[in-house]
Amino acid sequence: MNASTFISKRIFSLSKENLSSTVMRIAVASVALGIAIMLISIAVVIGFKHQIRDKVIGFVAPVHIEMLNQNESVEETPFAYDSTLKARLNHSFISEVHATANKAGLIKTDDEIHAVVLKGVDAEYNWNYINDNLVEGEIPQYVENERSNDIVVSKIISDKMQLDVGDDVRVWFVDADMKARGRKFNVKGVYETGLSECDERFVYCDLNQVRRLNGWADDEVGHLEVWVNDEMETTIANELIYYSIPTELVSFSAMQSYPQIFDWLELQDMNVAIIIALMLLVAGITIISMLLIIILEKTSTIGLLKSMGADNGLIRRIFLKRSCHILLIGMLIGNAVGIGLCLLQKYTNLISLSPESYYLSSVPIELNWFYIVALNVGTSLLWVLMLLLPTILINNIRPSKSIRFE
């Protein structure tokens, strides 16, 4: 054990009832609180971004392809999904391509009427996302060359229209010549994602029904949903797909389809940055104040050490080692509290949210160990650098004056 470590253990104690010990306990609490709040903030924001991103992509896919025109209505312009287009989309980073089409309609019952968008999907459609959010019923089984009347509606639509699994419902459509046509469907399942922009509108049905209603050929679709591998960035994949498809088609990423949601998510990063900056500043000022008070209280001890031959460097190391020890205690407590609260929320959903406002029913938590380690390393280095400032006072303490007024 070197001299600085031995002396620091002798002259500092958290258990003694004096001013410096009280200040050290406050510093430990401040550091612990700051670390815990920063960890929770990062875990919540990462959870928000990933879960809401997954919800949006579950509806529109990472990339979707449609006709390049000025049509901004729900009624889509069809194009052929033939062997030529399939060959152009034969990229290694593309995992799935699904043929889909949208059709605007009105669900009408004896007491209610509600505007919806029928999303037609084929027999090869990947139902994993809807199946994970299914609250009642089951996923319909579509056949390639047949038309099914089974549909899946959202819980919002089900509650508003008072529909249950197994009920028949009539959906009305308006033709190009402004004539109304009705089709009877059967509710096979009910889903709830919490993404109100989509839950309020989309009803899943057989793609062959949409083709029949629009008078399309068997290989025509409204748009294509393209899924890419996890290793591939969506923006890069979208750019590669854009230059692969014919000029009459265009591709969009999920971010381009719902920019308001992704912009809102980006604002959360700013909120976390502000919280982290405030916590770093508050805890940093606390530990600087702690060290200043300790130095002032131990002025006579510093003078005595200098009179015995200790240089400024040795004395600074004595105070810095004890301060770092206090900092370490606070960080350990903060990590334990922060990670503990995150795990409690993750597995119990103790704190709930309004899905209408936040798209989620409870506060999401995602613990990323890279961010946890980076946060601890970064904050500890910053706080240690901040601790160097008050140790400058040690250079100005003279043994002749400090010992005289002990």
| Same domain (yes/no): 335, 390 | yes
| Same domain (yes/no): 136, 178 | yes
Q: What is the pLDDT of residue 57?
A: 83
Could you tell me which residues are beta bridge partners of residue 47? Answer: none
Distance CA 58, CA 128 (A): 9
Predicted confidence band at 144 (pLDDT cuts at 50, 70, 90)?
A: confident
Predicted confidence band at 320 (pLDDT cuts at 50, 70, 90)?
A: confident
| Same domain (yes/no): 50, 78 | no
Domain-located, residue 60: no
| Same domain (yes/no): 36, 174 | no
CB 294 within 8 A of CB 24: yes
Domain boundary among 195, 215, 246: 246
Q: Which of 97-106, 178-187, 261-270 has the lowest mean pLDDT?
A: 261-270
- Quote the radius of gyration of the chain (alpha carbons, Å): 32
Calculate the CA dihedral of residues 299, 302, 306, 311 and round it to 10 degrees. -120
Q: How many other C-beta atoms lie within 10 A of the C-beta of residue 315?
A: 22
Query: pLDDT digits over 355-372, tens only?
Result: 777 777 888 898 988 888
Asked whether the predicted pLDDT for residue 405 surpasses 50, the reply is: no
| Same domain (yes/no): 235, 316 | no
| Same domain (yes/no): 185, 230 | yes
Domain-located, residue 254: no
Predicted confidence band at 227 (pLDDT cuts at 50, 70, 90)?
A: very high
**Nearest C-alpha neighbor of 163 from the set 209, 108, 103, 105:** 108
**Nearest C-alpha neighbor of 264 from the set 117, 48, 119:** 48
pTM here is 0.75
Asked whether the predicted pLDDT for residue 98 surpasses 90, the reply is: yes
| Same domain (yes/no): 393, 345 | yes
Domain-located, residue 90: yes
How would you class 144 by CB atoms within 10 Å of its CB: exposed for 0-12, middle for 13-18, buried for 19 or more?
exposed
| Same domain (yes/no): 127, 82 | yes
Q: What is the pLDDT of residue 9?
A: 58
Q: What is the pLDDT of residue 224?
A: 93
Query: pLDDT digits over 209-222, tens only?
Result: 999 988 899 889 99
| Same domain (yes/no): 169, 45 | no
Query: β-pairing, 150-154 with 180-191?
Result: parallel
Domain boundary among 246, 278, 303: 246
Domain-located, residue 251: no
Distance CA 271, CA 265 (A): 10
Domain-located, residue 63: no
Q: Which domain holds residue 272?
A: 3-55+262-404
Which helix (H) or strand (E) segment holds residue 381: the answer is helix 369-387
Which range, 130-139, 321-330, 382-391, has the best average confidence (pLDDT)?
Answer: 130-139
CB 202 within 8 A of CB 116: yes
Distance CA 281, CA 382 (A): 10
**Block residue for tokens 């009347």:** 149
Q: What is the pLDDT of residue 112?
A: 83
| Same domain (yes/no): 87, 211 | yes
Q: How many other C-beta atoms lie within 10 A of the C-beta of residue 168?
A: 10
Cα→Cα distances 85→90, 128, 148, 157, Å: 9, 25, 27, 36
Domain-located, residue 252: no
Look at 345 and 144; give whichever has higher pLDDT. Answer: 345
Count: domains in the chain: 2
Domain boundary among 200, 217, 246: 246
Query: pLDDT digits over 275-290, tens only?
Result: 888 888 888 888 778 7
| Same domain (yes/no): 299, 332 | yes
Domain-located, residue 61: no
Amino acid at 119: K
Look at 403 and 100; give whichever has higher pLDDT. Answer: 100
CB 340 within 8 A of CB 40: no
Look at 122 and 385; give whichever has higher pLDDT. Answer: 122
| Same domain (yes/no): 103, 201 | yes
